[in-house]
Structure 1
Amino acid sequence: MVDFGLGLLHGPPKGQNDLFLADLDKTLSQIKGSFRSIWMTDHFQWEGQPTFEAWTVMSYLLARYPEFEVGPMVLGQNYRNPALLALMAATLQALSGGRFIMGIGAGWKEDEYLAYDYEYPSPRVRLQQLEETLIILKKMWEEPGQVSFEGTHYSIRDAWCEPKPERKIPILVGGGGYTTMKHAAKYADMWNLPDKPLGPYIERLNIMRRHLDEIGRDPATLRFSWFGRVSLGRTEAEAEARGKSRIPHWTQENSFVGAPQRVAELMSEFVEAGVDYFMIDIIDAPDEEIVGMFTEEVIPAIDGA
């Protein structure tokens, strides 16, 4: 079974909040029944463009669209205290009827760390922090009563997280680094590698399978996902032109580009490799023709969908 999620932009076009909401509503009405989830990136600023705060957006989405699961793609682990993050997630899970997914990564965007007066640790430290965050999340969601943990970077002492999630909160770990993938193999329910062509994706996937084998975990218990863009057209030239005209720094090799049948073939190659979840930003959504191409022509032609 292959699932699909809609990836959202960082925020609205300048001065067009109402248009953002109208376009979102139109897009989601078109993909309802074909897509399972909505995903919001977790950034504070992006190339000078308006940028919405992820947690606020996710709360809105869960309240406004009960047909969809919602998650971040992905949270920077040290933007929010991990114990508070556990309680925030448990609260969303309770109020949404169990539709929240915890997407999390080590964090990487140095300019926004510094702009918002966050310490920007070394990669080694951020990866250690990621593991401690994952440990704290699971302890606070799963262990009864008050919870304590003493880590190198994060600690909790007799911390409450009540009510506990009635439905398990799935954890998605995002990233393709060796240590990040080890953390995903050990703690996650889903793993995401964004914007990778098939060859590099398969290379990382093989590394992930080795990590799983080393800890004796069945690969069938971890979902493999891909996050990126889809640019559709009736011809490949039209699809490529659409991507180039809409997206700064457009690179075709990191996206699915082409007529519907071609995009279905490209995505089927990922499914054959092991991917069972695509989180995608459809360029020019909510254009009815473009969204319809994906839901009515691409999805039915993908092997395993």
Structure 2
Amino acid sequence: MPVEFGIVLPRVPEKDHNISGYMADLDILLLHLAPHIRGLWVTDHFMRNEAPVHECWTIVTTLAARYHEYQVGPIVLGQSYRNPALTAKMGATLQHLSGGRFVMGIGAGWKEDEYRAYGYEFPRTGIRIEQLEDTLEIMTRLWNEDGPVSYHGKHYHVENAYCVPRPDPAPPIMVGGGGEKTMMLAARFADWWSLPDSPVEVYADRLAVLRKHCHTIERDDDDLRKTWFGRLAVAKTEAEAEALSDGKWTRHNSLCGDPAAVIAQIRAFIELGVDYFMIQVQGQHAPDTIALLTNEVFPAFG
């Protein structure tokens, strides 16, 4: 499978607080990057202190309607934020309306301050993973069974539920996360797997766990697409690349450096089996950044 790249959109507009500025920024970015980009991805968060943040599902739906040539999806939904059956219905509808370009990224949820600020309970990790299991079970059955579907899990249930018209094909499910129990759920339910902000050594370790779980259930792990999600900072020197995020993102937790270094980092992940990189570009409107990406980094991968 060829190596592909997707852009993770920033949660806030860079110039102002309104949605028109947010979309205008993206239009400009895609004018330059379109030949190299397969998908558009949005993180699922409600707030970042006082900074303006747009809601994920609304943005994903807008992207599907506005840009007809790209895959779209959340990277990744917090399962707690939306009823699982309704989420399945929303995903089915978006799959129909987008002509099959939707990918359902979903995880257990983790951002405690956000949960509490918006009035959600924040149970311990094990409970949230059990909730994710229920969500994946409900979603998979509603998308693939004629119905009615009844399911009584530990935390969520449906009774005589239909999801008509069913999506055909069902959206790929991308499970995000690297914990042991989450990896088992990825082996059981996912079509894609995503691990955020990880250096290659951590990714290799987690991938070995995923492959172990696939082996346990007699699944060929080659059927499960491996993706990487994180920041990319490229500049003429490593110091300049790190300065794009004020030193927060470095080669130890992102793709960072001059073009040759970034290319080498990407190739190290490819050797592990990764073939899709969902990147949040640092300095994404800087002419030098765009030039290095389009002239050196992306062409290195076809």
| TM-score, length-scaled by structure 1 | 0.94
Instruction: Quote how far apart the aligned CAs of 1:122 are.
Output: 1.2
Counterpart Cα distance in 2 of 1:127 and 1:295:
39
- In structure 1, list runs of 5 or more residues that go unmatched: none
Structural mapping, 1:115-134, within 5 Å: 115-134=117-136
The corresponding residue for 2:257 is: 258
Structural mapping, 1:263-282, within 5 Å: 263-282=262-281
Counterpart Cα distance in 1 of 2:192 and 2:139:
15
Matched, 1:228 2:230: yes
Counterpart Cα distance in 2 of 1:296 and 1:44:
35
- In structure 2, list runs of 5 or more residues that go unmatched: none
The corresponding residue for 1:9 is: 10
93, 102, 105: which is aligned to 2:104?
102
Counterpart secondary structure, 2:50: coil
Q: Give the root-mean-square deviation of aligned CA atoms.
A: 1.4
Counterpart secondary structure, 1:135: helix
Match for 1:220: what amino acid?
Answer: D
| Range with greater deviation from structure 2 (211-220 or 99-108) | 211-220
Counterpart secondary structure, 1:131: helix
Answer whether contact 1:14 1:49 (CA < 8 A) is retained: no
Structural mapping, 1:1-305, within 5 Å: 1-13=2-14, 15-17=16-18, 18-244=20-246, 249-302=248-301, 305=302
Match for 2:217: what amino acid?
Answer: I
Answer whether contact 2:242 2:250 (CA < 8 A) is retained: no
Instruction: Quote how far apart the aligned CAs of 1:263 are.
Output: 0.6
Aligned residues: percent identity?
49
Per-residue deviation, residues 43-69 of structure 1 (Å, max 9, x unmatched): 111243211100100111000000111
Counterpart Cα distance in 2 of 1:236 and 1:13:
24
Answer whether contact 2:92 2:170 (CA < 8 A) is retained: no
Counterpart secondary structure, 2:230: strand
Instruction: Quote how far apart the aligned CAs of 1:209 are.
Output: 0.9
Counterpart Cα distance in 2 of 1:220 and 1:252:
28
Counterpart secondary structure, 1:276: strand
Instruction: Quote how far apart the aligned CAs of 1:7 are.
Output: 0.6
| Range with greater deviation from structure 2 (16-25 or 278-287) | 16-25
Counterpart Cα distance in 2 of 1:145 and 1:219:
29
Counterpart secondary structure, 2:122: coil
Counterpart Cα distance in 1 of 2:147 and 2:196:
37
Counterpart secondary structure, 1:33: helix
Answer whether contact 2:108 2:129 (CA < 8 A) is retained: yes
Q: How many residues align?
A: 300
Counterpart Cα distance in 2 of 1:206 and 1:295:
33
| Off by >6 Å, runs of 4+ in structure 1 | none
Answer whether contact 2:235 2:288 (CA < 8 A) is retained: no
Counterpart Cα distance in 2 of 1:195 and 1:233:
19
